[in-house]
């Protein structure tokens, strides 16, 4: 059976980690907005190509993102969708173009999210990701992969993390309410270890 799964959650909730695990477990595509846009940046829409907005440093308009996501889902034999929809208009569009088997919201307390986001470290050379608490390198500040320096990105400071979360709450709470009203939303406690969270998600899907 092919699964069509939507994973929702705030920055730091673990959507990327869980989406990758789910894609491997069920043999489906992991579809992210960013990947879909990059793969289809020259796709013609009535509003122009995604490339025209990306190269101008502008946000890609909702109608263009909608078309790109629709094309990505149409090509996939089952999927885990991560990073879309970001607002109510996109959520309503998604409900029109596909029937989802499951909409899972990873519920994580704000202070836990801030700890996760601010603890992230990235290799300045190869881009490998670590976390001071959950995935520390063997030697503090040094990348296990290439020996490069581990840095904290500007968008992983506490001030920026809280700003990102505020944007998420403003834009995405209506999305959560939309799927709750449709009766398809399942909330999963996302504060446990990644493997435990994955087991909880799998239990939901296998019911």
- pTM of this prediction? 0.86
Q: How far apart are CA 130 and CA 144, in angstroms?
A: 9
Task: Go through the domains of the chain in sequence order and give each one's CATH number.
Answer: 4-28+77-110+158-206 (3.40.50.300)
60 annotated ligand-binding residue: yes
4 annotated ligand-binding residue: no
Each residue's pLDDT tens digit, 133-156: 888 999 999 999 999 999 998 888
As beta bridge partners, residue 102 has: 5
Q: Which residues are catalytic?
A: 15, 86, 120, 153, 164
User: Digits of tens for pLDDT over the chain (207 positions)?
Assistant: 569 999 999 999 999 889 999 999 999 999 998 888 888 899 998 888 999 998 888 889 999 999 999 999 998 889 999 999 999 999 999 999 999 999 999 999 999 999 999 999 999 999 888 999 888 999 999 999 999 999 998 888 999 999 999 999 999 889 999 999 999 999 999 998 889 999 999 999 987
Q: Which of 199, 8, 30 is nearest to 107 (CA)?
A: 8
126 annotated ligand-binding residue: yes
Q: How far apart are CA 133 and CA 155, in angstroms?
A: 18
């Amino acid at each position: 059976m092919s699964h069509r799964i939507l994973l929702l959650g705030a920055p730091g909730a673990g959507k990327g980690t869980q989406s990758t695990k789910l894609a491997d477990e069920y043999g489906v595509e992991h579809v992210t907005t960013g990947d879909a846009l990059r793969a289809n940046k020259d796709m013609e829409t009535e509003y122009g190509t995604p490339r025209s907005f990306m190269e101008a440093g502008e946000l890609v308009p909702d109608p263009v993102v909608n078309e790109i996501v629709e094309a990505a889902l149409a090509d996939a034999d089952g999927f885990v969708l991560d990073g879309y929809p970001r607002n109510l208009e996109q959520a309503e569009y998604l409900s029109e173009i596909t029937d989802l088997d499951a909409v899972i919201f990873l519920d994580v307390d704000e202070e836990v999210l801030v700890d996760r986001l601010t603890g992230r470290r990235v290799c300045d050379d190869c881009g490998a990701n670590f976390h001071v608490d959950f995935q520390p390198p063997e030697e503090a500040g040094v990348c296990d992969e290439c020996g490069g320096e581990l840095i904290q990105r500007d968008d992983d400071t506490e001030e920026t993390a809280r700003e990102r979360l505020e944007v998420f709450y403003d834009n995405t709470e209506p999305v959560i309410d939309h799927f709750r009203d449709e009766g398809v939303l399942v909330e999963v406690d996302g504060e446990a270890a990644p493997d435990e969270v994955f087991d909880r998600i799998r239990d939901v899907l296998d019911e």
